Amino acid sequence: MKYDKEFLEYVDDILKSPEFKKRMKYEHHENESVYEHSMKVAYSSYLFAKKHNLNKRDISIGGLLHDFYYKPWKEDITKKPLFKKHGFVHAREALENSKKNFPNLMNNRVEDIILRHMFPLNIKPPKYKESWVVTMMDKKCSLNVLAHPKAWSAYLGLKRKKVKK
């Protein structure tokens, strides 16, 4: 994939971060790392923003950090009530982690993009057009999970998968 120079400039600090690079080893779903998934969501959102005259910087950063939660979710085998499971809590976690690692990249729009990307599972809807775009692109880029119904429950954290070591 060839990325626009402009896009790469917006997300330069993130791509250089060792903490973000760890996501190359986090499995997102079916044969895709969180890193690859986040790049797809961020870049498709950036291209959309470019075409429709939205904020390209904020959408690139928010798109790239939308799944910047702490731990690979499939390795989290602790027992939790439904509303504490990955699908429900990871957007808030991603926002916390983003603020910790990239405080100078944050603003209201970037924060809304990250926090609201799980709408409608998280019931509060996005506030900005850019957040809506990332929410849709995330769903679009996750369609491979829809093709694997057995993975749905795991994705929502409803069933725990054994971790391959």
Cis geometry, peptide bond prior to residue 120 (ω within 30 degrees of 0): yes
Least distance from C-beta 118 to Fe ion, angstroms? 6
138 binds Fe ion (CB under 5 A): yes
For Fe ion, the closer CB: 67 or 112: 67
Q: How many CB atoms lie within 10 A of CB 67?
A: 23
| Count of residues making up the chain | 165
58 binds Fe ion (CB under 5 A): no
- For residue 44, give both structure tokens: 């498709």
Q: Which residue type sits at 113?
A: I
130 binds Fe ion (CB under 5 A): no
Helix (H) or strand (E) segment spanning residue 33: strand 32-33
Binding mask 13-52 for Fe ion (x = CB under 5 A): ----------------------------------------
Which range of residues in 3-11, 50-58, 100-108, 130-138 is near Fe ion by CB under 5 A?
130-138
Cβ atoms of residues 114 and 14 within 8 Å:
no
For Fe ion, the closer CB: 35 or 128: 35
First to last CA, the chain: 30
67 binds Fe ion (CB under 5 A): yes
Residues near Fe ion (CB under 5 A):
67, 138
